[in-house]
Amino acid sequence: MPPPVAIIGAGRVGSALGAALKRAGWPVVAVAARTAASARRAAKFVGAPAMEVRQAAALAKLVLVTVPDDAVAGVARELVGPVKRGAVVAHTSGALSSDALAAVRRSGARAASVHPLMTFPTPAKGLAALRGAHFFFEGDRGSSPLLRRMILAVGGVPVPVSKRGKALYHAGAVLACNDLVALLAEAFALFRQAGIPGKKAAGALGPLVRRTVENVLALGPARALTGPVARGDAGSVARHLKALHGPVREIYRVLGLSTLRLARLSPGRRRVLESLLRIR
């Protein structure tokens, strides 16, 4: 039988995970949050009762702490006492290790972290995207079997990660997801400045971005690389740098240097491009 689960945190991740576990037949016994209104809203989505934090923790053998990173340690201190001995308390931060929950060990609980590598724009969209998502987890001895079981129950793919590797892993995820969104926003802005409206820009850039991502995943970054740096086209790069101003120029310059590390160029062309891209 699956153990009773409490969700501490009423945001998109907690709501999606709680609903996914409930759908998989796991007993989600409580949802708690900073405010009663938030707890009720998330509890309605999950299909579980709303409670206060300490009451919720006392009922569960698996406590999922789905609060913002800065609040994790505070929640851990609040759980000391009510959390059951032998329970697994896992936060869902990508950057923090299980040591952020060290306080719960004083109650005989096991600290862990489990991060679903997926974007959660809304609870409903996050819930729909969990199946097939990779979950990176680590924690105290004895926590892994339950975490694996939970991940498999929601259709995820369990992947162990070391405590020391958490920050690097999460930084990589941010580059691939959040920073990609910011980069595309800058691309849309340049299209607007060139007189190409948003809908036409989306229609044009959409297929390019999708195919680029597909190529990187299928071929690897170096073989998927195209464009002026890959060709050693210093003239185009110089024209781009002249046309760009402000932060977007710096973004172009820094990413150009990263691109240059992937490019297969002669030493002469590489030196010319590097000289251009290092001019601030």
Q: Which of 26, 33, 45 lies closest to 7, judged by CA? A: 33
Distance between CA atoms of residues 92 and 94, nearest Å: 6
pLDDT in tens, 92-141: 999 999 999 999 999 999 999 999 999 999 999 999 999 999 999 999 99
Distance between CA atoms of residues 54 and 33, nearest Å: 11
| H or E element, residue 26 | none
pLDDT value of residue 190:
97
pLDDT value of residue 164:
93
Tell how far CA 272 is from the center of its chain.
37
- The dihedral through the CA atoms of 88, 93, 94, 99 has a sign that is negative
pLDDT value of residue 51:
95
Question: What letter would DSSP give residue 154?
Answer: T
- Total number of residues shown for the chain: 280
Q: Mean of the pLDDT values across residues 4-15?
A: 97
97: helix, strand or coil: coil
- The dihedral through the CA atoms of 13, 16, 18, 21 has a sign that is negative
Kindly write down the DSSP assignment for every residue of 191-218, as one continuous string.
HHHTT--HHHHHHHHHHHHHHHHHHHHH
Which residues of 165-267 form beta strands (DSSP E)? none
pLDDT value of residue 215:
97
Q: Mean of the pLDDT values across residues 204-230?
A: 96
pLDDT value of residue 226:
96
pLDDT value of residue 105:
96
Q: Mean of the pLDDT values across residues 151-157?
A: 98
pLDDT in tens, 32-45: 998 999 999 999 99
Domain 5-174, CATH number (from 3.40.50.720, 3.30.230.10, 3.90.1640.10, 3.40.228.10) = 3.40.50.720
Place of tokens 């009720």: 40
Mean pLDDT of the residues in the chain: 96
Tell how far CA 205 is from the center of its chain.
24
The full set of domain ranges for the chain reads 5-174, 180-277
Q: Is this prediction's pTM over 0.85?
A: yes
pLDDT value of residue 88:
98
Output the CATH code of domain 180-277: 1.10.1040
Distance between CA atoms of residues 123 and 14, nearest Å: 8
pLDDT value of residue 198:
87
pLDDT in tens, 170-188: 999 999 999 999 999 999 9
